[in-house]
Structure 1
Amino acid sequence: MTNTWKVTLPCTREEADSLSEDNLFISSTDSVPTVVTREADPESPDDWVIEIYCDANPDAAFLKEIAELSPSAKLSKTIPAVEELGNEDWVTMSQQGLEPLRAGRFYVHTSNSPPLDDKSVRNICIDAGQAFGTGHHETTMCCLESLDRLKRLGQQYDNIIDVGTGTGLLAFAARDLWPTAQIIASDIDPVAIEVSAQNAAVNNVAIGHSRRAIRLETSNGLDHPAIGQRAPYDLIIANILAGPLIALAPQIAAAAASNTVLVLAGLLKAQRLDVLHAYIRVGFRLRHSRVENEWPCLTLVKAREYGLAKTHRIIRSPLASDYFGEC
């Protein structure tokens, strides 16, 4: 096994999520580096780290290109840190610190941790990698718990979409909860779709265009023709950033029908009212809210009638961040 070098650079969560196959191309190296993004400190949810593993000692040109991945670090004049790892297995190292976790009926673990031997538990194996959504972040865990809650309430869904699927985890969870549903999972990043397909194989989840398979598509929002053809959906899941959530509100509303349930995450507590306001304006009503640390997960339902007057009354209500009833 050859020596491996690790390059570390601080970034924001938004910068970590924006990484794509295009801006990870490093022209100054003959090999393809592998990138891992992770939360640096649970107490500071916007502080993330980019870790790049490569099999050659990074030169100045390489480090210059890496520095461009984090505008916030560049602004603070923080330079990439370089560490020689020797002949250690960097894949194993990148998984260290990702402890298995339980979210509702789901047990999310990496390939370095064994699954639970419990028939009441659904084991899902997701390794850290370039796509966001390992289940080890509060947003994904909160979504898993919200989906599990809907199942416990007896909700049944036949047509589901996971927008911004990342690793595919939430789509896999939806398949387990509603095995007869038609499910499509999309992401703007083609790397995420590749990662989702790999994770599906690991977890024995069928991928393709058949009724029981999850269909994976690279799509900017809900623009893909296949997404429009399958609309309207009765369950929509979107675990992405607050800005894209707000921008996608009209598209998501257009893909929904009366009583469509919408599960939103990826926003901070300080962004909750802005996101909620965007969706109330297009006809959704808040039905349930849960928070993990600074990260809320909102469950909404598409109303039959809506208007700006109702929007303003609800958004100013002190109950806007609380529970509005079962759905």
Structure 2
Amino acid sequence: MTNDAAPAQSWKVTLPCTRAEAEALDGDIAAFALMEHPPVLMTSEAEDDGSVWRLDAYFEGRPGPAAIKLLKTLVPSAAGVKPQVEALPDEDWVTISQQGLEPVTAGRFHVRNIAGDPELPGHVNLLIEAGRAFGTGQHETTAGCLAMLDRMRRVGMRFRNVADIGTGTGLLAFAALTLWPRAHAIASDIDPVAVDISADNARANGVPLGDGPGRLALVTAAGADHVALTGRAPYDLLIANILAGPLIELAPSLCALVEEGGSVVLAGLLNEQADAVIAAYRRQGMRLAERSDRGDWPTLHLRKRPAIGWKRPRRIDRAARGEAPGFGSI
């Protein structure tokens, strides 16, 4: 006789939505952050011409009125629509929902979300199974960061101390260690589940965990205020693929972790939010080095200016702080 409780039955809530709403839902959903078992959200085209999209939310256990009301706030266009709520058969619905995901190629990286998909010759192949954390490579923000990091390496930039803030699945930290394999690296997330998932993904992709060159340290942390992050600073490369609001709010603390001449790669913002994000980082002594747009989602590469005024300016050591003219790509 066992005392183990039977797993809760899975339920699905379906609502219509617009394409813009569907794209916005590919980021972290703060509305469900406090739920013990947040739903898995999947969006798809309900009509072949792209005029109607659909949101499917998968819940562990029957969702209550409050959860459904919260879900409807994510798709304002469906305000007057009665959601379709249904119990699902006792199947692995997460795996089933992932079967339509196509691999994503960005720069030299080829990211598969299903283990059975073939690897792509001549590329860095990474396996990030879709599930409970954001950052599978499917969204334009993650793919944009991968392409930006690849381009930075191709022009000869070198980094020795890397931080990935809001890592999600760990993908961007894995990519950075692939490009700069002797770097020290740390990845953080406010969600301990995401940190656990990143550890699992690291093992699945052969990324060694721990301290030291070529290894990835993982920590649960809100923003940049954690001794594990501040103790390893300053960084010559900091990556933050989160949302525009947190990026602006965290600008002072994130920039304080970056050394003079160091690079910051930001994503998770929309085109109309880019100017406000850039302005927030310029106020912290950063300058825009490059911007790359994928659809409505820009990726920003900024550099930290040398200190001026009462602080003595220091010459930027290009080899140590991100630039190494004369070196080609790997």
The TM-score bracket by the shorter chain reads: 0.7 to 0.9
Q: Which residue of 2 aligns with 1:7?
A: 13
Query: How many angstroms does 1:21 deviate by?
Result: 8.0
Q: Which residue of 2 aligns with 1:108?
A: 111
Q: Which residue of 2 aligns with 1:215?
A: 217
Contact map agreement 1:289 1:297 (CA 8 A) in 2: yes
The superposition leaves residues 263-283 of structure 1 with CA deviations (integer Å, 9 ceiling, x where unpaired) of: 110100000100000001110
CA, structure 1 residues 265+16, in 2 after alignment: closer, same or farther (shift >3 Å)?
A: closer
Q: 1:23 aligns with which of 34, 37, 46?
A: 34
Q: Which residue of 1 aligns with 2:39?
A: 35
Give secondary structure in 2 for the equivalent of 1:151: helix
- Scaled by the length of structure 2, what TM-score is found? 0.79
CA, structure 1 residues 95+287, in 2 after alignment: closer, same or farther (shift >3 Å)?
A: same
CA, structure 1 residues 68+225, in 2 after alignment: closer, same or farther (shift >3 Å)?
A: farther
Counterpart CA distance in 1 for 2:267 and 2:138 is 14
Q: Which residue of 2 aligns with 1:206?
A: 208
Contact map agreement 2:14 2:54 (CA 8 A) in 1: no
Q: 1:91 aligns with which of 91, 94, 109?
A: 94
Q: Which residue of 2 aligns with 1:253?
A: 255
Give secondary structure in 2 for the equivalent of 1:130: coil
Q: Which amino acid aligns with 1:227?
A: L
Cα-Cα RMSD: 3.0
Sequence identity (%): 44
TM alignment of 1:261-280, pairs within 5 A: 261-280=263-282
The superposition leaves residues 28-59 of structure 1 with CA deviations (integer Å, 9 ceiling, x where unpaired) of: xxxxx573234556x99xx99462244x6x2x
Deviates more, 1:122-131 or 1:270-279: 122-131
Q: Which residue of 1 aligns with 2:57?
A: 51
Task: Structure 2: state its 5+ residue gaps.
Answer: 1-6, 310-324, 326-330
Q: Which amino acid aligns with 2:232?
A: R
CA, structure 1 residues 202+155, in 2 after alignment: closer, same or farther (shift >3 Å)?
A: same
Q: Which residue of 2 aligns with 1:314?
A: none
Counterpart CA distance in 1 for 2:91 and 2:69 is 27
Q: Which residue of 2 aligns with 1:190?
A: 192
Counting helix residues as a fraction of each chain, which structure ranks higher? 1
Counterpart CA distance in 2 for 1:229 and 1:291 is 33
Counterpart CA distance in 1 for 2:54 and 2:163 is 28
Query: How many angstroms does 1:68 deviate by?
Result: 5.0
Query: How many angstroms does 1:253 deviate by?
Result: 1.2
Q: Which residue of 2 aligns with 1:321?
A: none
Q: Which residue of 2 aligns with 1:81?
A: 84
Counterpart CA distance in 1 for 2:25 and 2:230 is 27
Deviates more, 1:192-201 or 1:3-12: 3-12
Q: Which amino acid aligns with 1:109?
A: R
- Scaled by the length of structure 1, what TM-score is found? 0.80
The superposition leaves residues 50-77 of structure 1 with CA deviations (integer Å, 9 ceiling, x where unpaired) of: 62244x6x2xxx3224225436159725
Deviates more, 1:106-115 or 1:68-77: 68-77
TM alignment of 1:107-126, pairs within 5 A: 107-118=110-121, 120-126=122-128
The superposition leaves residues 107-157 of structure 1 with CA deviations (integer Å, 9 ceiling, x where unpaired) of: 011125423252x31111112222111100100000000000011011110
CA, structure 1 residues 304+108, in 2 after alignment: closer, same or farther (shift >3 Å)?
A: same
Counterpart CA distance in 1 for 2:200 and 2:66 is 28
Counterpart CA distance in 2 for 1:218 and 1:68 is 30
Query: How many angstroms does 1:20 deviate by?
Result: 8.2
Counterpart CA distance in 1 for 2:232 and 2:286 is 20
Contact map agreement 2:181 2:213 (CA 8 A) in 1: no
Deviates more, 1:144-153 or 1:5-14: 5-14
Q: Which residue of 2 aligns with 1:319?
A: none
Q: How many residues align?
A: 292
Contact map agreement 1:165 1:187 (CA 8 A) in 2: yes
Counterpart CA distance in 2 for 1:103 and 1:237 is 17
Q: Which amino acid aligns with 2:289?
A: R
Task: Structure 1: state its 5+ residue gaps.
Answer: 26-32, 308-325
Counterpart CA distance in 2 for 1:208 and 1:139 is 27
Q: Which residue of 1 aligns with 2:67?
A: 66
The superposition leaves residues 243-297 of structure 1 with CA deviations (integer Å, 9 ceiling, x where unpaired) of: 0000010011110111111111010000010000000111010111110000000
The superposition leaves residues 181-238 of structure 1 with CA deviations (integer Å, 9 ceiling, x where unpaired) of: 0000011111211111121122121222344321111111101101001100000101
